[in-house]
Amino acid sequence: MGRWSVVISRPFAGEGANNPAWGPGKSTQVTFAVWDGGHEERGARKSVRMGWVLLAIQ
């Protein structure tokens, strides 16, 4: 199997209740839903990670 990586870019600071208090030196929990077109996943049909992953921001 191949290997790939994803880069997600967004500002650390933001206004509103939906913006997490995060930044360098902090951690938060994240989870992902992934679509694999090679397995005919699209729309609501996708691979779901069942559980949270710790995202540590350096």
Residues 3-37 pLDDT 10s:
878 888 877 777 777 777 778 898 888 887 777 77
Cα dihedral sign for 25, 31, 33, 11?
negative
Assess whether pLDDT exceeds 70 at residue 48: no
Q: Does any domain span residue 43?
A: yes
Asked, for residue 22, whether it belongs to a domain, the answer is no
Is residue 10, in this structure, part of any structural domain at all? no
Q: How far apart are CA 5 and CA 49, in angstroms?
A: 16
Q: Is position 38 within any domain?
A: yes
Q: Is the pTM of this model over 0.75?
A: no
Domain count for the chain, please give it. Answer: 1
Structure tokens belonging to residue 30? 């994240």
Sign of CA dihedral 9, 6, 29, 34: positive
User: Could you tell me the residue range of the domain that residue 50 belongs to?
Assistant: 27-56
40 vs 14, 43, 48, 57, CA distance in Å? 36, 10, 14, 33
